[in-house]
Amino acid sequence: MINTIIKKSTENTMLTFGTDVAHQVTDALANKYGFDPEEAKEFLGTLTLSNSSIKQKVKVPSVPLPFCGKIEESWCQAIKSNHKMFTQCRNDKVYGIFCKGCATNAKKNEGKPTYGVIQDRLNKDYTDKNGKKPKNYGNVMKTLDITREAAEAEAKKLGWTIPEEQFNLVVTKPGRKKGSKTSTSSSDNEQEVKDEEVKDEEVQDEEVQDEEDQDEEDQDEEDQDEEVQDEEVQEEEVQDEDVQDEEVQEEEVQEEEVQEEEVHEEEVQEEEVQEKNDVKKVVKKKDVNKKKVVKKKDEKKKDEKKKDEKKKDEKKKNDKKKNVKKKVTKKKTGATSDNTAPPKLQEWDNEYNIDDANFLYDKEGKGPVGKVTDIDNAVIEFFDDV
């Protein structure tokens, strides 16, 4: 693995610059597509980065828990000893996938923490750097006097389920010496006493081993704390240099911002011109569409007018035909027949006589030949077939 060593001040400057760029990009995208920028920054992990020293939130459980097969993505991805159960570090990620302490530890171990990364624990045959397998939770519960109820309650807070086999108490049985099958009762009692003594010694050895493991774990944590403290001292020593670098960086950023503002103003002006042109095009298009609509309405009115005129012409023709039929009917009605009495006639003028229905007859009694439609004005309508 290739390790890149850069100056601390440069690293902080790059970190600050990268964070600012990430925030600006996130804000721009949020404004464009309408999502929550703060939620997006939290998802990207950029909210944990700041211009000041990086702080981390340590999650301290009420009781230690074993590895339950679940990896928490927001936690540091390194493995901690945790009473030799080798579980995930509960600190927040601040340097890539590690917390500050585990990142320092990884730098001294070719980029990997002492006990590895939590993904290694998914391997059932996992062992630490010394070849030791993880201790069963039942043994830790006995040593620390942890009840099952307390353990399961703590696991429930995280949405975990402790595997049933983790509650088992693993005891290493001592081997027996080969001997004769026949023995006296006294020798049996002696053997039982020896077995009990061996068991007691074994329990004591296990307790001593637990204490040694705990001391080793405490020592590892102390070493990490010292390493973190050393880094903090180094950061304080280069703080003045960082400030100068930041001032230079701020000046460069200000110049870039001025240039960006000028470019932005030009773009805004171009956009305004483009918007005005677009508005003009839209208005022109609307006017054209409006004229088309008016023209269609006028054409429609003309068509309707033509249809109305046509209907009126047809009606006039029909009315004319009806009038002809009426005249014929009137003529027939006014004529005398063999079965009816002749109408009573009076003299209208020297040429015609008139009956009670105003029908005209010639002096010879033929007719009717017409009808007086207006007696006061002497208006006569003659039949066509006369």
Range of 48's domain?
A: 1-52
Distance CA 88, CA 336 (A): 129
314 occurs within a structural domain = no
* 123 and 162 housed in the same domain: yes
Vertex 304, ends 298 and 308: CA angle to 5°?
140
Distance CA 98, CA 112 (A): 10
Last residue of a domain, one of 10, 28, 52: 52
Q: Are 96 and 103 in contact (CB under 8 A)?
A: yes
Q: Is the N-terminal amide bond of 134 cis, ω within 30° of 0?
A: no
Q: How confident is the model at residue 156 (pLDDT cuts 50, 70, 90)?
A: very high
268 occurs within a structural domain = no
* 122 and 201 housed in the same domain: yes
Q: Are 118 and 71 in contact (CB under 8 A)?
A: yes
212 occurs within a structural domain = yes
**Strongest mean pLDDT among 40-54, 156-170, 197-211:** 156-170
pTM: 0.40
313 occurs within a structural domain = no
* 15 and 121 housed in the same domain: no
* 39 and 98 housed in the same domain: no
* 20 and 143 housed in the same domain: no
Distance CA 294, CA 164 (A): 84
Lowest mean pLDDT among 7-21, 136-150, 225-239: 225-239
Q: What pLDDT digit, counting tens, does each position of 80-110 carry?
A: 999 999 999 999 998 899 999 999 999 998 8
26 occurs within a structural domain = yes
Q: What pLDDT digit, counting tens, does each position of 357-372 carry?
A: 888 888 877 778 888 8
Q: What pLDDT digit, counting tens, does each position of 296-354 carry?
A: 888 888 888 888 888 888 888 787 666 655 554 554 454 444 455 667 777 777 788 88
| Closest to 344 in 3D by CA, of 364, 352, 353 | 353
Distance of CA 353 to the CA centre of its chain: 104
- pLDDT at residue number 221: 67
What are residue 191's phi and psi, to 5 degrees? -65, -40
Mean pLDDT (whole number) for 149-157: 94
Per the model's pLDDT, the better-predicted residue between 218 and 258 turns out to be: 258
32 occurs within a structural domain = yes
* 227 and 108 housed in the same domain: yes
* 130 and 166 housed in the same domain: yes
Residue with tokens 């003659």, as numbered in its chain:
382
Distance CA 188, CA 83 (A): 39
- pLDDT at residue number 181: 46
* 159 and 77 housed in the same domain: yes
Mean pLDDT (whole number) for 123-131: 91
* 104 and 227 housed in the same domain: yes
- pLDDT at residue number 72: 93
Domain count along the chain: 3
* 16 and 162 housed in the same domain: no
Q: How confident is the model at residue 180 (pLDDT cuts 50, 70, 90)?
A: very low
Mean pLDDT (whole number) for 268-281: 87
* 40 and 13 housed in the same domain: yes
- Residue 123 CB contacts under 8 Å (≥ 6 apart), including other chains: none
260 occurs within a structural domain = no
264 occurs within a structural domain = no
* 78 and 131 housed in the same domain: yes
Q: How confident is the model at residue 1 (pLDDT cuts 50, 70, 90)?
A: very low
Pairing of strands 352-354, 346-347: antiparallel
Distance CA 329, CA 95 (A): 115
